[in-house]
Amino acid sequence: MTDAAGFSERVEQVSISGIREVFEAAGEDAINLGLGQPDFPTPDHARQAAIDAIESGKADAYTSNKGIESLREAIAAKHERDNGLDIDPGNVIATAGGSEALHIALEAHVDAGEEVIFPDPGFVSYDALTHLAGGEPEPVALREDLTLSPAAVEDAITDNTAAFIVNSPANPTGAVQSPEDMREFARIADEHDLLCISDEVYEQQVFEGEHRSPMEFAESDNVVLVNACSKAYSMTGWRLGWIAASDERIERMLRVHQYGQACASAPAQYAAEAALTGPQDPVDEMREAFRERRDILLAGLEEMGLECPRPEGAFYAMPKVPEGWVEEVIDRGVVVVPGEAFGSAGEGYARISYATDIETIEEALEIMAAATEAVR
Ligand SMILES: Cc1ncc(COP(=O)(O)O)c(C=O)c1O
């Protein structure tokens, strides 16, 4: 069915992200704590690998649909090194960022009218991509500590559920799921014979606890794993992510990827291979910087009396805020994102990104403290 202007019902259900609207509302010299990307350069060796590939002519042509073999080998080696997972390079598709990986997973597995369960508040793409695949979003509210409860996911499952999405560390909360939760998500995927899409793009930004993937625990092939170079190596502009899954699932997702994308950008593939196989110090340095900033931000929020579940990963904090707080903060020149941009259960919260330097965070904290006083 189409509307009067001829647009699909699917696209009419999706709007431009609320985050963008906030940016547009803010003044030009506002302090931007709304950003979803690291403020570090891409490592030199990754940049250089792309330059070399371009100069030698290696990056001129389509690559194989799944991506160059050496990149997929590097991805498999990364999963063995970091996650203890034995993934065959043939079971990996290199994608245009984690975004395309999520898109092809949903396109390949969701029929019209089928439900997709995901965290609320959660990353904005889960709702939008579910609609674009013709599915029905089934947001599940988080626990008080802003983690996703496996029991709540299990309760939301119906005969019509196509998949559930797990995201740890999470955007917009910074929450990290415990290994026990991840084991439970794997059990649910196995026992309900249901697809679990595990979005692990913030894997490298974990400050406490440890990152575990439900794929480690699953006994069936019902977990597909989404990851990317974007956040780990500060490569959001390169558009390089991947999806790992069983033969059968990869074959179906490859059909979507082949016609929608052909292959991931060749220069980006070479850069990603270098990032994954080269020295990992830039990853450790970024993690340390984020940890330090998080602590400063949390101390500042506590001082102004805002309750904030302690984020253990990513580079976001999500405090509970009084009514009118977000508007007041934005009016005073600091961009933060209202929690409801990430789902209705996000109401009463704000997402603060600390992907910016300490001086700026401290300046923003002073402004936020004054705004808090003003709205109390
Ligand atoms: C949770 C989550 N998943 C996936 C993505 C997509 O990342 P990419 O830039 O690799 O497409 C993002 C980007 O913000 C994200 O926050």
- Angstrom CA distances, 63 to 71, 86, 262, 361, 372, stand at 11, 24, 8, 42, 53
Residue 24 lies in a domain: yes
Asked if residues 215 and 225 have their Cβ atoms less than 8 Å apart, the reply is yes
The total domain count for the chain is 2
pLDDT above 70 (res 196): yes
Q: Final residue of a domain: which of 237, 256, 277?
A: 277
Asked if residue 305 and residue 256 are part of one domain, the reply reads no
Position 230 in a domain: yes
pLDDT over 60 at 3, yes or no: no
Average pLDDT across the chain, whole number: 96
- Answer whether 228 contacts ligand 1 (Cβ < 6 A): yes
For residue 199, which of 166, 159, 233 has the smallest C-alpha distance?
A: 166
Q: Can you give the pLDDT at residue 4?
A: 65
The pLDDT of residue 21: 75
Residues 238 and 129 grouped into a single domain: yes
Does the Cβ of 34 fall within 6 Å of ligand 1? no
| Cα of 226 vs its chain's centroid, Å | 9
Amino acid identity of residue 313, one-letter, is G
Per-residue confidence band for 117, with pLDDT thresholds at 50, 70 and 90? very high
Cα angle 99, 68, 96; round to 5: 15
pLDDT in tens, 281-331: 999 999 999 999 999 999 999 999 999 999 999 999 999 999 999 999 999
Q: Residue 1: its pLDDT value, please?
A: 54
- Is 233 found in the same domain as 144? yes
Q: Residue 2 pLDDT > 70, yes or no?
A: no
4 domain residue, yes or no: no
Q: Note whether residue 3 is domain-resident.
A: no
CATH label of the domain that carries residue 110? 3.40.640.10
Q: Would you state the pLDDT for residue 26?
A: 75
| C-alpha closest to that of 164 among 186, 146, 131 | 186
Same domain, 141 and 223: yes
pLDDT for 309 equals: 97
Report yes or no: 94 and 67 within 8 Å, Cβ to Cβ. yes
78 lies in the same domain as 62 = yes
> Are 187 and 129 found together in one domain?
yes
One domain for residues 174 and 55: yes
Establish whether residue 236 lines the binding site of ligand 1, counting it when its CB lies within 6 angstroms of any ligand atom: yes
- Measured in Å, residue 303 CA sits from the centre of ligand 1 at 31
Ligand 1 lined by 123 (C-beta under 6 Å): yes
- Are 135 and 273 in the same domain? yes
For the stretch 356-369, pLDDT in tens is 999 999 999 999 99
Instruction: Determine the atom of ligand 1 nearest the C-alpha atom of 123.
Output: 1
Please report, rounded to a whole number, the percentage of residues in the chain having pLDDT higher than 90: 94
With 90 as the cut, is the pLDDT of residue 115 above it?
yes
Domain that holds residue 25: 9-42+281-375
pLDDT for 78 equals 98
Q: Is the CB of 171 under 6 A from ligand 1?
A: yes
Ligand 1: centre distance to CA 98 (Å): 5
The residue out of 232, 247, 277 marking a domain boundary is 277
Ligand 1 atom with the smallest distance to the CA of 96 is 11
CA 221–ligand 1 middle distance (angstroms): 23
Q: What is the pLDDT of residues 9-32, one digit of tens each?
A: 999 999 887 777 777 777 778 999
Q: Is the CB of 99 under 6 A from ligand 1?
A: yes
CA–centroid distance, residue 21 to ligand 1 (Å): 18
Q: Does residue 36 sit in the same domain as residue 60?
A: no
Above pLDDT 70, what percent of the chain? 99
Cα dist from 194 to 115, 154, 366, whole Å: 11, 11, 47
Residue 101 CA: nearest ligand 1 atom is 11
Is the residue at 2 inside a domain?
no
* Residue 205 belongs to a domain: yes
Return all residues near 13 (Cβ < 8 A) that are at least 6 apart.
Answer: 131
Whether 283 contacts 40, CB under 8 Å: no
Taking the CA of residue 122 as reference, the ligand 1 atom at the shortest distance is: 1
Q: pLDDT of 227-238, one tens digit each?
A: 999 999 999 999
Q: How far is the CA of 376 from the centre of ligand 1 (A)?
A: 34
Whole-number Å distance between alpha carbons of 225 and 222: 10
Question: Which domain CATH number covers 323?
Answer: 3.90.1150.10
Same domain for 69 and 205, yes or no, is: yes
How far away, in angstroms, is 156 Cα from ligand 1 center? 24
Q: Can you give 168-225 as a three-state secondary structure string?
A: CCCCCCCCCCCHHHHHHHHHHHHHCCCEEEEECCCCCCECCCCCCCHHHHCCCCCEEE
Look at residue 128 and tell me if it is in a domain. Answer: yes
User: 241: helix, coil or strand?
Assistant: strand
CA dist 267 → 6, 80, 194, 349 (Å):
37, 25, 36, 40
Residue 207 lies in a domain: yes
Give me the mean pLDDT over the 170-194 stretch.
98
Residues 170 and 204 in one domain: yes
Question: Residue 185, Cα to own-chain centre: how many angstroms?
Answer: 18
Q: Is the pTM higher than 0.85?
A: yes
Q: Is 38 in the pocket of ligand 1 (CB under 6 A)?
A: no
Q: Which of residues 247, 277, 307 is at a domain's end?
A: 277
Q: How far is the CA of 308 from the centre of ligand 1 (A)?
A: 23
In this structure, are 196 and 75 located in the same domain? yes
Tens of pLDDT, residues 200-227 = 999 999 999 899 999 999 999 999 999 9
Q: What is the pLDDT of residue 22?
A: 76
C-alpha to C-alpha distance for 141 and 149, rounded to whole angstroms: 9
Q: Which residue has the tokens 């939008």?
A: 128
